[in-house]
Amino acid sequence: MADDAYDRELAAALRAGLVRELIARGELADPRWRAAFEQVPRELFVPYYYVGAPGGYRRRSRADPDPRAREAWLTGVYVDEPLATYVRDGELISSSSQPSLMAKMLTALDLREGHAVLEIGAGTGYNAALLAHRLGDAAVTTVDLDAEITEAARAHLAEAGFHPTVVTGDGALGCASRAPFDRTMATCALPSVPPAWIAQSRPGALILAPLATGLIALRVTDAAHAEGRFLHTPAYFVPLRGAAVPPLPDRSGIPWRLLRNDQFQFLLAVSRMAPADALALWHDEGRPPRDRYGLTVAGDRQWAWLDSPDGPWRWPLDREFSPGGA
C-alpha cells in the first residue's frame, strides 16, 4: 500500500512536470487542453512499454516487483518521447505518441463544443481519453484494426473513467455507423487520404493526418473534395497497416548531410521524385519548409503541390485504399 501511494504521488509530480515542460515549449496555450494533460493519467494507458536494447527491445512494466525498475517505468511514461507499446515478432505495431506532438495535433484540430471526432489508430487509448476529457465520451470514436489493441485501449480508458466508442475495424474505411464527423484525426502514417474519411465528414470538417513525414490539415468541401496545407512540424508515425506504401526513390548518390535534412526528406517523400530532380527543385525554390506544401483531393484524384494547387509543381499520389488498414 505504501508503494502504491508513492507511485501515485510520483506520477502526479511527473505529470505536472511534463505539463510545465510543454507549456514552456509553447504548447497547451488552450487551458482546456492543459487541464486534459494535467488530469488524464498517462501511466494507466502504458502499463508497459519497450525501450531499445541490444538485439531488440527490453520491456518496462508497472508490474515489475523491483521498486527501482517500477520507478524507471513511471519516469519514462512522463518523458516527452513516443513509447513503443506493441511489438510483434520484433516489429513495432503500435505506440503512444510523443506528448508534445499530441498537443500540437490536438490544438490544430481547432475543436468546438458539439464536434464529433473520429480517431484513426486507437493505440493505447490515451489520445482518445484526452479528446473525451475535452468533448465528452459520446463525441469520440476511435478505430483500430487489431482486436488486441482495441480491447486493451477500452480497458485503459475504463480504468481512467472514460468510455468513448472503441471500434475494431479497417481505419481506411472510417466508421460509417458513427458519421458524420466534424474532425478526423489519424495517428498512423498514410500514403494518401482514404476517400471514406472525406465522405463521412460534414462540409467544413477538418481532417488532420500524417502523410510523407508531415501533418496535412484538410478542409472538407463536400463528400468528394478537400484541400489544405501541411503544418510546419515534422511527424513520424507507425504506418496505416494494410495500406500499400509506395517505395521511396533510390537515395544512393545523395550526400549524407542532405539525407539527414528533414525538409529535403519531406520533399522526397511527398513528391516521389528522382533524387537529382528533387535536389534541383529544393535548391531552386529556396529549400521550402513543409508549410509551403499542400494537398488537394478531388474525387478519385489526389495531388500534392508546392505553394499552389494550380502551380507548376504538383505530384499525383495515385493511391487507392483497400480493406485492411489500421
- 304 lies in a domain? no
Going across the sheet that includes 91-96, the strands are 56-61, 48-53, 83-88, 91-96
pLDDT tens-digit series, residues 227-241? 999 999 988 887 775
What's the Cα-to-Cα distance from 156 to each of 101, 125, 151, 230, rounded to whole Å?
A: 21, 7, 9, 32
Catalytic sites, residue numbers: 94
pLDDT for residue 323: 42
- 14 lies in a domain? yes
Average confidence (pLDDT) over 90-106: 87
Are the CB atoms for 80 and 100 separated by under 8 Å?
yes
Closest CA to 320 of 243, 238, 220: 243
pLDDT for residue 278: 86
- 316 lies in a domain? no
- 251 lies in a domain? no
pLDDT tens-digit series, residues 129-177? 999 999 999 999 999 999 999 999 999 999 999 999 999 999 999 999 9
Q: Which helix (H) or strand (E) holds 155?
A: helix 147-159
Q: Name the most confidently modeled range: 1-15, 44-58, 202-216.
A: 202-216
pLDDT tens-digit series, residues 48-87? 999 877 777 788 999 999 999 999 999 999 999 999 888 7
Closest CA to 49 of 84, 98, 93, 75: 84
- What is the DSSP track for 288-314? --GGGEEEEEETTEEEEEES-TTSS-E
Cis peptide before 316 (omega within 30 of 0): no
**Rounded Cα–Cα distance for residues 323 and 169 (Å):** 9
- 85 lies in a domain? yes
* Phi, psi for residue 190 in degrees, rounded to 5: -120, 150
Whichever domain contains 98, its CATH number is 3.40.50.150
Alpha helices in 170-261 (DSSP H): 195-199, 256-259
**Rounded Cα–Cα distance for residues 149 and 139 (Å):** 21
Q: Which residues pair with 304 in a beta bridge?
A: 295, 315
Residue type present at position 203 = P
pLDDT tier for residue 90 given thresholds of 50, 70 and 90: low
- 84 lies in a domain? yes
pLDDT for residue 258: 61
- 261 lies in a domain? no
Residue 4 has pLDDT above 90, yes or no: no
Q: Which structural domain, as residue segments, surrounds residue 30?
A: 2-169
pTM: 0.90
pLDDT tens-digit series, residues 238-295? 777 544 344 444 454 555 556 567 888 899 888 888 888 888 999 999 999 999 999 9
Please report the beta strands in 214-321, taking only residues with DSSP state E, as ranges in sequence order: 214-222, 225-230, 293-298, 301-306, 314-316
**Rounded Cα–Cα distance for residues 198 and 145 (Å):** 19
The domain tally of the chain equals 1
- 122 lies in a domain? yes
